[in-house]
Chains A and B, each alone.
Chain A
Amino acid sequence: MTSNTCSCRTYVLMIACLTISSFALRVALRPRSDLSGLPVALAPASNTPEVIEAFTLAAEKAGLRTGMRLSEALATCPTLVLLEQDPASVADVWEAILHQLEEAGFEVEPLEHGCVLFDTAPVEPLAGGLEQALERAMAAVDSRWQPSLGVAARRFAAVAAASVTVPGRILVVDDADTALFLEPLPLHLLPLSQERREEFAALGIQRLGELACLPRASVADRFGSDADQAWLCARSEDRARVVPRQPSVDLVESIEFPDPVANSSTLEHSLARLIDLLLARPDRKGRALRKVALSARLVSGGSWRRALTLREPSADPTVLRVALTPRLSELPAPALDLKIKIDELTEWQGVQEELLSVRGKRLQEKLREGLRQVRTSVGRYAVCTVVEIAPWSRIPENRAILVPRDD
C-alpha cells in the first residue's frame, strides 16, 4: 500500500469510505461517562433475535463474541451492563456528521449509520490534492468518534479498506494494488447473506482471493446473481459509483408529554397534531413528503424510531395519518415525547391529476396492469380474493378463505 498523492499517481477517481465502528453503542454510551472502562453491550432491540451485536473492549476481554445469545453473554460476563437501544439519537448524531461532511464540500452516500461513501474528486481541486481532501474529511468529523477512512478506486475496496484500518487512520489503496489488497481479506466483508456465507465456508472458501479465483460462470450458476456481484467485488471489478443523497431537510416537529404516554388515542391525537404543524411549515414550500421518520424517547430509557418511505409522495394529512398511525402500535414502552421529521421532500410542488376519472374498460385495464405488477413483484399467486364459506360460524378462521386469483 502506498500513499496516494496527485503528484505521483495516474489520475483515478477515488472513492472514500468513512466508518465509525460500533456507532450505535458509542452514541448510547455518550451520556454515560460512569460506564467508562466497564463491560457494556447494547441490548437487542425488541422483536429482534436476542443476540449481542455491539459491546465494549472490556466486554470483549471478558469473553463476549458477536452473535452470542444474550443469556450466554450474561453467563459469560455476570457484570455485563446492558444499554437500551437509542435509534433516535443514533439517527440525529449521524445526520449531524453527514451534514458536517456536506459542509466540507463532500457529496455523501450514506450506506448505514456509521458508514458513508463519497467521491473525493470534487473536493481535490479546492483542497489541493487527494491527501488534503482526505484530511479535510477527517477534520469535518469530531475526533472523539475516531473515524476510519478507506480510499480506493472501487466502492467495495474502499469499504473493505475502511473496515480493516485502525480507528482514526486513513488507508489509501492504490488502484494497481487493489486485487492484492483484497486477496487475504475475510469473506464476511462481502455484501452476502449469512446463508450464502455458510455455503461458501462449507466449500472451504474463507478469503476474498479464494472466491476471486473461481470461474465467474460457475459462481453465478451455482449461487445466483448476489454471488456474481460478490465475485465482481472480490476481484475489484465492481463498476458502481457513488450516488450522492439529496440534500437533507431539517423539518422537525415534536411534542413532550407531562407524563409518560402509552394510550393509543392520546398518541394518535398527538401524531395528527404534529402532522398538521409539519405541513403548515412555510419552509416546506408546498413540496410533498417522500420519507418521514417517527421517533420517541421511552420511559424505560433509550428511544424508538421508525422511518417510512411513502409509496407515493404526499402532503395530504389524511394519507400521512393512515401511513403513520399503525407504526405507533410498535412502541415498546410508554413515550416521554413524540417527534416527526421529514427525511426527504420531493423537488416538485404540484401533483398532475387526471382530468377525467377513469371508468369502464380503461379502469379494468389499469386494475389488470396493477395486478400484473404486484404478481411480478411478489409472486404469481400473491393476489387473492376473500371467499366467504361459513360467515355464520362461531370459529373466526372458518368464516372465510383466501383464494388466489387467476385473472
Chain B
Amino acid sequence: MVPDSRKPSDSRSARRLNAPRPVGVTALRGRPTMVGGVSVEAIREEWRVADQWWTSAPVRRQYFDLVLETGKHVVVFLDVERDAWFTQRA
C-alpha cells in the first residue's frame, strides 16, 4: 500500500522540553515595556545567561521576569546574538 503523503510526518523523534517561543516585545533602552500588546507593570527580576561561548553557536541572553498589566507573570529574554525576543518558562 502506498502511504498517504498528506499525513504528518512520524513524530517519534525526541523533542526539547521548554523550547523558547518567539514573542512580540516592545522595549525601551533594552527593557521590555510591552509583551504581546500588553503593557508591562513591573520587572521582578533580570539576569543574564552567557554560555557555549567556546562553540560556533554561542548563547547570550538577557532574561526578564515580568508582571503584565493583566496580572500575568511571564519570562522573556532577548537573544543578543540574533537580536530577537522569546518567551520561556525559566
Contacts and interface: CB of A to CB of B under 8 A. Distances in A.
Interface in A250-267: 262-267
Interface string A394-406: 1111111111100
Contacts of A266: 71
A379 interface: yes
B14 interface: yes
Interface string A317-340: 000000000000101111000000
B19 interface: yes
B51 A394 contact: yes
Contacts of A332: 70
B72 interface: yes
B1 to A, nearest CB: 14
Contacts of B10: 381
Interface string B15-49: 11111100000000000000000000000000001
B70 A334 contact: yes
Contact of B90 (A262, A387, A396): A396
B71 A264 contact: yes
Contact of B49 (A265, A329, A394, A404): A394
Given A332-B70, A379-B11, A396-B88, A402 B59 contact: no
A109 to B, nearest CB: 33
B82 interface: no
B15 A401 contact: yes
A203 interface: no
B70 A400 contact: no
A386 B14 CA distance: 10
A47 to B, nearest CB: 10
Nearest to B49: A394
Contact of A402 (B17, B69, B72): B17
The secondary structure that dominates the B interface is loop
A333 B70 contact: yes
Nearest to B47: A394
Contacts, number: 58
A262 B90 CA distance: 23
A396 B73 CA distance: 17
Contact of B17 (A267, A334, A381, A386): A386
B15 to A, nearest CB: 5
Q: How large is the interface on B (under 10, 10 to 19, 20 to 34, 35 or more residues)?
A: 20 to 34
Interface string A379-391: 1010010110000
A404 B19 CA distance: 17
A267 B88 CA distance: 24
A381 B73 CA distance: 32
Report which residue of B10, B14, B71 has the largest number of chain A beta carbons within 10 angstroms of its beta carbon.
Answer: B71
A262 to B, nearest CB: 5
A263 B10 CA distance: 43
Contacts of B16: 397-398, 401-402
A237 B44 CA distance: 62
Contacts of B70: 262, 329, 331-334
B69 A381 contact: no
Report which residue of B15, B17, B69, B73 has the largest number of chain A beta carbons within 10 angstroms of its beta carbon.
Answer: B17
Contacts of A393: 51
Contacts of B52: 395
B67 to A, nearest CB: 9
Contacts of A267: 71
A399 B18 contact: yes
Given A262-B70, A395-B51, 7 more contacts: A262-B69, A329-B72, A397-B19, A401-B14, A401-B15, A402-B14, A402-B17
26 contacts: A263-B71, A264-B71, A264-B73, A265-B71, A266-B71, A329-B70, A333-B70, A334-B69, A334-B70, A381-B12, A384-B15, A393-B51, A394-B51, A396-B88, A397-B18, A397-B19, A397-B20, A398-B16, A400-B17, A401-B15, A401-B17, A402-B14, A402-B16, A402-B17, A404-B11, A404-B14
Interface of B: 10-12, 14-20, 49, 51-52, 59, 69-73, 88-90
Interface of A: 262-267, 329, 331-334, 379, 381, 384, 386-387, 393-404
